[in-house]
A and B are shown apart, each in its own frame.
Chain A
Amino acid sequence: MPTPSWASQLIHLGAALLLLSSFAMLSQRRILSLVNLFALQGAILSVSTAIVAHTTGATHLYASAALSLLLKVILLPWILHRLITRLNVRWDTETQLNIPTTMLVGILVVVFAFALAQPIAQLSSAVTRSTIGIALAVVLLSFLMMITRRKAISQVIGFLAMENGLFFAATSATYGMPMVVELGVALDVLVGTLILGVFFFQIREQFDSLDLQHLERLKED
């Protein structure tokens, strides 16, 4: 196999770091660490988008990189930090399954994603198409994180991490999405986070806690 160019090496490294950070999210208990990991993911994304922009010469990707930098590294983590401070949550100690079991399920999910992605990757023409498997794994791992958490904030971060995974798949495998789609998705994510923030206050007012099992009491018996 000929030595890949430094650009694709860097993208592979970025993919590995993205997978590492989503795995780390799966095993973290502290909510602050989750937000920091999410910011790290955003940074990796913007760097890899910039690299792809450099190699393909598509200038709109630079704008996309700048947008993800602004949104995912600066704005969203700031909003989440404010939410955390005002809601006064620090720890998400209870998970549905214990942490080693969650991580074991995570490994199985990763194997599944890798196996699934191999035939799909043949369809793309990009050099870094093998990273589709990693992107799919990141999406599924973030979904897993959403399922196994009890505090609502962690679920929001999982949802945002899913979007990160999809974004990475788009940039590395297909060299970016049309700008309109990009802007639309970014707007959706921002608005979604703001609305969820408002919801959390309501939940906290009602139940005095952000633990989601209180929501289960809403159903009529």
Chain B
Amino acid sequence: MTRDLLLGIFQAVLSIVAAPLLLGWVDQCRAWLQNRRGAGVLQPYRVLRKLMQKDAVVAYGASPLFRASPYVQFGAMCLAAAIIPIVSVTAPLAASADTIALVGLFALARVFIALAGMDIGTAFGSLGARREMLVGFLSEPALLMVFFTASLICQSTLLPTIVDTLAHRELVIYPSLAFAGVAFTMVLLAENARIPIDNPTTHLELTMIHEAMVLEYSARHLALIEWAAALKLMNFTAIGLALFIPWGLTAATAGPSGLIVGIVTTALKLTAAGAVLALIETVSAKLRIFRAPEFLATAFLLAVLGLLVHQLLGS
């Protein structure tokens, strides 16, 4: 029991530490696709260290909410990393929170960062907050519907049970999961502020969503927010892999050797996923902000369609 707990905490800490590496890998793949050399996969770590060493500069009108918000966001993402089966099925808190609670946790992080964006009272902060809540308002139901489809197939909302059922299933292909997969990819792109919803490397404030909210942050606060964003990408990718490509996750009763296998397979899957994400980002163009609701409405309706297809076909 304690061994499981330690193993679970180890996997959570590993994913928290490795999250910037995934982000660095995605950026490196994007650079290669754009025929550049890129900054190397360890660049996010260098950025984090540089930011942590600086003095935090806070605007005159900031409230305690502004200073507390990065910590809350990072804490929420760490908690999510402890719930999602990233390497092994027995994440430490996986039995205390199901997928719906996970969606609520992401909503908590989003509300806090949006409130922090409105805190200083600048035009861009509230612009970013408004757009972030718009994206969240449409992507959260889509995510819930994807989880619903998976839960209907597996008769449970707990992620370990879902992963176990899907990994040992007899049907090779679930058509409703095909819809859910497309919808989930679209939601992943939207929630993590990737192209085509938001450009993570843009410098034009009027096109920003996530960056506009965090314009006033600096030093360790900004470092925590960047890390939380990387962790969110890691969490979402892990959820996607757990739902759609669940083979290879360490089973509940495996020992340390099973954990090694789990780590290796997860690393391979994340590498492939990062490369695919970079490819999607390179071939797509960023949407105008008012095309974003259409994009997300498509994701939502696809997820609902997956639910209906499950009802009709029984799979």
Residues of A within 8 A of B297 (CB): 99-100, 103-104
Q: A194 an interface residue at 8 Å Cβ cutoff?
A: no
B312 adjacent to A20 (CB under 8 Å) = no
A102 to chain B, nearest CB (A): 10
Residues from chain B with a CB closer than 8 A to the CB of A23 are 301-302, 305
Contacting residue for A20 out of B172, B179, B304, CB 8 A? B179
Task: Using CB atoms, name the residue of chain A closest to B295.
Answer: A27
Knowing A13-B173, A23-B301, A27-B294 are in contact, say whether A130-B179 is a contact too (CB < 8 A): no
Please state if A20 and B313 are interface contacts (CB–CB under 8 Å).
no
A12 and B305 contacting across the interface, CB-CB below 8 Å: no
A100→B138 CA distance, assembly (Å):
12
Residue contact A131 to B298, C-beta cutoff 8 Å: no
- For residue A114, CB closer than 8 A to chain B, the reply is yes
Interface pair A16/B172, CB less than 8 Å apart:
no
User: Which A residues are CB-close (under 8 A) to B313?
Assistant: 12, 15-16, 130-131, 134
Interface assignment of A133: CB less than 8 Å from any CB of chain B: yes
Query: Is A111 part of the binding interface, using a Cβ–Cβ cutoff of 8 Å?
Result: yes
Q: How far is the CA of A20 from the CA of B305 in the complex (A)?
A: 9
Within B212-265, the residues touching A (CB, 8 Å) are none
Which of A1-9, A34-42, A205-213 touches B? A1-9
Which residues of chain A (94-130) have a CB below 8 Å from chain B? 98-100, 103-104, 106-107, 110-111, 114, 117-118, 130
A161 interfacial by beta-carbon distance below 8 Å: no
Q: Does B38 contact A (CB under 8 A)?
A: no
A106 close to B301 (CB less than 8 A): yes
Q: Are A20 and B182 in contact (CB under 8 A)?
A: yes
B283 at the interface (CB under 8 A from A): no
> Is A166 an interface position by the 8 A CB rule?
no
Is A20 within 8 A of B308, CB to CB? Answer: no
* A107 CB contact (under 8 Å) in B176, B304, B312: B304
A6 to B, closest residue via Cβ? B172
Which chain B residue has the least Cβ–Cβ distance from A104? B301
Q: Tell whether B171 is near chain A: CB-to-CB under 8 Å.
A: yes
Q: How far is the CB of B208 from chain A (nearest CB, A)?
A: 24
Q: How far is the CA of A138 from the CA of B222 in the complex (A)?
A: 49
Inter-chain contact A100/B294, CB cutoff 8 Å: yes
- Compute how far the CA of A151 lies from the CA of B311 in the bound complex, rounded to whole angstroms: 35
A215 CB–B CB distance under 8 Å: no
Residue B121 CB within 8 A of the other chain = no
The one of A4, A110, A133 in contact with B171, judged by C-beta atoms closer than 8 angstroms, is A4
Is B315 an interface residue when CB atoms closer than 8 A count as contact? yes
A1 to B310, CA, bound (A): 14
Tell me if A107 and B305 are in contact (CB < 8 A). yes
Cβ–Cβ < 8 Å partners of A99 in chain B: 294, 297-298
A17 within 8 A of B: yes
CB B174 to nearest CB in A, in angstroms, measures 8
In angstroms, Cα B176 to Cα A131, docked, is: 13
A-facing residues in B278-315 (Cβ within 8 Å): 293-294, 297-298, 301-302, 304-305, 308-309, 311-315
Chain A 169-200 near chain B by CB (<8 Å), digits 1 or 0:
00000000000000000000000000000000
> With A15-B175, A19-B305 given, can you name 15 additional A-B contacts, CB distance below 8 Å?
A9-B172, A9-B315, A12-B313, A13-B175, A16-B309, A23-B302, A27-B294, A100-B293, A103-B297, A107-B301, A107-B308, A114-B311, A114-B312, A130-B313, A133-B312
Per CB-CB distance, the 6 closest pairs between chain A and chain B, nearest first, are: A16-B175, A100-B297, A3-B170, A13-B173, A103-B301, A99-B294
23 contacts between A and B (CB under 8 A): A1-B314, A3-B170, A4-B171, A6-B172, A9-B172, A9-B315, A10-B173, A13-B175, A16-B175, A16-B176, A16-B178, A16-B179, A17-B178, A19-B309, A20-B305, A23-B305, A107-B304, A111-B308, A114-B308, A117-B312, A130-B314, A134-B309, A134-B313
The residues of A with any CB-CB pair to B shorter than 8 Å are: 1, 3-4, 6, 9-10, 12-13, 15-17, 19-20, 23, 27, 98-100, 103-104, 106-107, 110-111, 114, 117-118, 130-131, 133-134
